[in-house]
Amino acid sequence: MARHLITSAIPYINGIKHLGNLVGSQLPADVYARYLRARGHEVLFLCATDEHGTPAELAAAKAGKPVAEYCAEMWAVQRDLAEGFGLSFDHFGRSSSPQNHRLTQHFAGVLADNGLIREVTEKQMYSPADGRFLPDRYIEGTCPNCGFDSARGDQCDNCTKQLDPVDLIDPRSTISGSTELELRETTHLYLRQSAMRDRLEKWIDTREGWPVLTTSIAKKWLTDGDGLQDRGITRDLDWGIPVKRGTEDWPGMEGKVFYVWFDAPVEYIACAQEWVDTGKGDDWERWWRTDKGAADVRYTQFMGKDNVPFHTLSFPATILGSGEPWKLVDYIKSFNYLNYDGGQFSTSRGRGVFMDQALALLPADYWRWWLLSHVPETSDAEFTWESFQSGVNKDLADVLGNFVSRVTKFCRSKFGDTLPEGGEDIPVEADALAEFEAKLRAYEAAMEAVEIRRAATALRALWVWGNEYLQSAAPWSTIKEDEAKAAGQIRFALNLIRVYAVLSTPFIPMTSARMLSALNTLDTDWPDNLSAALTALPAGHAFSVPDNLFRKITDEEREDWQARFAGTRD
C-alpha cells in the first residue's frame, strides 16, 4: 500500500466560510482521503487556519477583541464546522503556531544564505485616513491590463495578472474607501523568484497529469510580460510572524512581519509537526523530508484556482530555493468557482449559504452529496435551490434511500430481523453481475484519477443498479411462488446495502455509518472480491430497519430558503 500526503488550501481566519469555499478545497480533499484510507493506503490529511495579515486584524477590531484571542476563537469555530461536515483531517492546525513561526523563520534564513532574498527600499501605498501602510489586498482599483474595476493590489482576479498597487488605475483603500493615498518609503525583503524561473519551469514540466487549469495558470505567470517577478515577503504590520533570519534578528527589519503568503504554505509542513507535538502522530519527517522516507510519499494538494500561482510558483520557489530535502507536491487538484443562484457568493454581503447555516438546515451529507456531484472541476458551476432540491430528492431519497428502505422493511415484514436462509447467494445472471463490477471499477478509476464529479456519477449508477435489480427480481411477487428464492434475493440485497455503505463513505460518511449500524456490522472491507463482498453477511445475521435515510425537500422549504439567503446573514 502507498503513502499519501494530502493538504487542502487553508481557510482564512476572518469568519465562517460559505459553501463555495468548502467545495473548492477541503471537501474534495476529504473525499480523496477517505477513499484512499478505504483502499488500505496510509494517509496523512492536513489542514489549518490561515491567521496572519490585515484581514485578521480588522476582523478582530470589528469584533472588539485582541487579534490573538479572536483567532483562537475562530479557529475553534472552523474546527467544529469542519467536524460537522465530516472532514476527516488527521490534524487541523494554526498558522500562528510556534512550529510555523520557527519553520518560516528557518526558511527565510536559508533562502538568504543561498542568495535568494534581497532587501528593497521602495515606496508603498500609505493611507492617512487609515493611519497605516495598506497591504496589497487592501488596495483596489482598475486593472491596467483588462479593465476589471475591482482588481487587488497583488493580482487581478479577472485576468489573474500579477500586479503591484502602483499599477492600479484610480486606487482606493478597501478599509475606508479613501482615494487619498500616498507613497511612503519603507524597506522590505523580496524572494528572488526571477532567479528561480528556469528551475521552476523544469520542475513543473516534470509533474505528470496536472489539470489543464493548474498548468495553464502556472505557465501564464511564468511567461506573461516580463515573466516571473520577485515578490515581497514582509509587511509593515503588527500581527504576524516576526522577521528573523533563522533564530537571529534581521537588522533593519525590526517591527515587521512575514507576508501571509510566505508563511501560510509553510504551515502545511508545520501542521505535521503540530500533529506530532499534540500526540496524534509519531514521525512528521517521514512525510516531509525526502532523506527521511518522504521520497516514497505521493503528495496531493487541493485548492481553488485563485491559489494556484502561490502553490505552483511561490511555495515551490521557497522549497527548491532552500536546497534542503523537502517533499514537493506531486499533483495539484485545482477548482473553478462555485457561483450562487444567478450571482456570486459574497461574504461581505452575506449572500449565499454559509457552513453554519447549512448544518442548521439539513445534515451534512445532503450538502456533501450535492456539492461533490456538482464540483466545479472543468468550469465554474452554480448552486441553485432548484438543483439542490432535485439532487437531494432524486439521488439521495429516491435512489439510495428508497433502496435501503424497501429492502430492510420487506425483509423484516416477511422474514423477521435476521437475514433469511434459502435460495442462491448471488441470484443474478453473470452478465448483470459483470455490469455491476464494471460500474464499480469505473467508480474506482474516477477516484484514482481524482475526478470527483465523474466518481459521483459512477457511484449513483451503482445505486441505480440496485434499484433496477430489485424491480427485476420483485421479491414481493417471487415470495408468493418460491419463498426460498425470495429469501436469496433479499439476502443478496441486504449484502448490497453493506457494499453501498462502504462505497459511499467518501461522499456521505455519516449516512454510510448509519447503514452499517443498521446492518449490525463493522465490516468495511472494500469489495475487491465482489462475490465475497456480496455474501459477507450470512443467513441468520441480525439487522434493523434504519430511520428514513433522507427526507425530501418540499417546494415550500426551497422557496423559503431561496428568499432567506438572498443577501443577508441572520
Does 143 show up as a binding residue in the annotation?
yes
Does 47 show up as a binding residue in the annotation?
no
Please tell me the distance from the alpha carbon of residue 25 to that of residue 11, in angstroms, as a whole number. Answer: 9
Does 146 show up as a binding residue in the annotation?
yes
Does 71 show up as a binding residue in the annotation?
no
Number of Cβ within a 10 Å radius of residue 172: 18
Would you list the DSSP string of 312-356? IIIHHHHHHHHTS-BPPPSEEEEE-PEEETTB--BTTTTBS-BHH
Strand partners, 331: 300
The continuous run of DSSP H or E covering 366 comes out as helix 364-373
Please tell me the distance from the alpha carbon of residue 129 to that of residue 180, in angstroms, as a whole number. Answer: 8
CA 201 to chain centre: 26
What does the block give as the cell for 446? 474516477
> Do 316 and 332 touch, CB atoms closer than 8 A?
no
What does the block give as the cell for 298? 505521493
What does the block give as the cell for 18? 460559505
Q: Is 112 exposed, middle or buried (0-12, 13-18, 19+ CB in 10 A)?
A: middle
> Do 343 and 482 touch, CB atoms closer than 8 A?
no
Residues in Cβ contact with 517 at an 8 Å cutoff, skipping those fewer than 6 apart: 546
Give a three-class secondary structure readout of 425-443: CCCCCHHHHHHHHHHHHHH
The continuous run of DSSP H or E covering 127 comes out as strand 117-127
| End-to-end Cα separation, the chain, in angstroms | 48
Does 156 show up as a binding residue in the annotation?
yes
Helix (H, G, I), strand (E, B), or coil: what is residue 496?
helix
What does the block give as the cell for 140? 483596489
Can you list the positions of beta strands (E) in 363-486? 381-383
Q: Please state the length of the chain.
A: 570
The continuous run of DSSP H or E covering 5 comes out as strand 3-8
The CB-side HSE value for 41 (13 A sphere, CA atoms) comes to: 19
Please tell me the distance from the alpha carbon of residue 142 to that of residue 169, in angstroms, as a whole number. Answer: 5
What does the block give as the cell for 123? 515606496
The one-character DSSP state at 546 is: P
The CB-side HSE value for 294 (13 A sphere, CA atoms) comes to: 23
Angle, vertex CA 37, rays to CA 36 and CA 42, nearest 5:
95
Bridge-based pairing of strands 91-94 and 248-249 is unpaired
Radius of gyration over alpha carbons of the chain, in Å?
27
Binding residues for ATP: 347
Binding residues: 143, 146, 156, 159, 347
Binding residues for Zn(2+): 143, 146, 156, 159
